[in-house]
Chain A
Amino acid sequence: GQQLNQSPQSMFIQEGEDVSMNCTSSSIFNTWLWYKQDPGEGPVLLIALYKAGELTSNGRLTAQFGITRKDSFLNISASIPSDVGIYFCAGSGRPGGAQKLVFGQGTRLTINP
């Protein structure tokens, strides 16, 4: 089936640093989503991207939908302790109907105070 390659798999940073992670795919997607998962919880949607080239921000988070529709990146600026968690990218190939999402493997973010 379709697969998303997410990198890096883990990051260890100092509080206040900026973070960058990305996802690539061999297939084209019409929607790119970024989720965050806290321990013992389900994923929560952070940012949704629906157009190639789209750049969207949500507070300190910024994500872009790649022009080729095969990649996306997420940046977090000035990291704080509550940013700790696992970040997932997800792609959907269908423009409508049930979103059968394909998820990346996740990036585990650890922050040293």
Chain B
Amino acid sequence: NAGVTQTPKFRVLKTGQSMTLLCAQDMNHEYMYWYRQDPGMGLRLIHYSVGEGTTAKGEVPDGYNVSRLKKQNFLLGLESAAPSQTSVYFCASSYGTGATDTQYFGPGTRLTVL
């Protein structure tokens, strides 16, 4: 099992450019999550999905879109990147079995927007 993988690992964008971050999991997890991590602020939830074809907003969804067309993949899109979106992005997944559910995190994507 590879667990949770993220593509790419690093990316530099210019303001206004678009890009898609890919998250893949091979654990047959129902739930998937996208977080961003900024210095001194811990991780904050952007969007999440409770199953194929579903998405929902998290704490900081503005400027991002997501899609879950396949159960194993969760895509995070930036339509028009801004310097404020410079951050490290983490994807996580979980079985979705209730209160004792455990989220497993990917290795992260470091994004810089110039």
Measured CB to CB, the residues of A under 8 A from B are 1, 4, 6, 9, 30-31, 40-45, 48, 50, 88, 90, 95-106
Tell whether, in the assembled complex, residue B101 and residue A99 are in contact, meaning their CB atoms are under 8 Å apart: yes
Query: How far in angstroms is the closest Cβ of chain B from A90?
Result: 8
CA distance A61 to B39 in the complex (A): 25
CA distance A90 to B106 in the complex (A): 17
Chain B residue with the shortest CB-CB distance to A104: B42
What residues of chain A lie closer than 8 Å to B40, measured between beta carbons?
9, 105-106
Tell whether, in the assembled complex, residue A98 and residue B48 are in contact, meaning their CB atoms are under 8 Å apart: yes
The 6 nearest A-B residue pairs measured at CB: A42-B105, A103-B42, A96-B98, A103-B43, A95-B99, A105-B42
Tell whether, in the assembled complex, residue B94 and residue A99 are in contact, meaning their CB atoms are under 8 Å apart: yes
The interface centre, meaning the residue of A9, A45, A99, A106 with most chain B CB atoms within 10 A of its CB, is: A99
The residue from B41, B43, B56, B106 contacting A98, defined by CB atoms under 8 A apart: B56
CA distance A100 to B59 in the complex (A): 9
Asked whether A42 and B108 contact (CB < 8 A) given A95-B99, A99-B94, A103-B43, the answer is: yes
Total chain B interface residues with beta-carbon distance under 8 A: 29
Tell whether, in the assembled complex, residue B105 and residue A96 are in contact, meaning their CB atoms are under 8 Å apart: no
Tell whether, in the assembled complex, residue A103 and residue B99 are in contact, meaning their CB atoms are under 8 Å apart: no
Query: Can you list 6 residue pairs at the A/B interface with Cβ under 8 Å?
Result: A6-B42, A40-B108, A98-B96, A99-B31, A99-B101, A105-B41
Tell whether, in the assembled complex, residue B99 and residue A100 are in contact, meaning their CB atoms are under 8 Å apart: no
What residues of chain B lie closer than 8 Å to A101, measured between beta carbons?
43, 45, 103
What residues of chain A lie closer than 8 Å to B31, measured between beta carbons?
98-99
What residues of chain A lie closer than 8 Å to B98, measured between beta carbons?
95-97
Query: How far in angstroms is the closest Cβ of chain B from A49?
Result: 11
What residues of chain A lie closer than 8 Å to B56, measured between beta carbons?
98
The residue from A30, A95, A106 contacting B42, defined by CB atoms under 8 A apart: A106
CA distance A99 to B56 in the complex (A): 12
CA distance A105 to B39 in the complex (A): 8
The residue from A30, A31, A44, A102 contacting B105, defined by CB atoms under 8 A apart: A44
The residue from B45, B102, B106, B108 contacting A100, defined by CB atoms under 8 A apart: B45
What residues of chain A lie closer than 8 Å to B83, measured between beta carbons?
none
What residues of chain A lie closer than 8 Å to B1, measured between beta carbons?
none
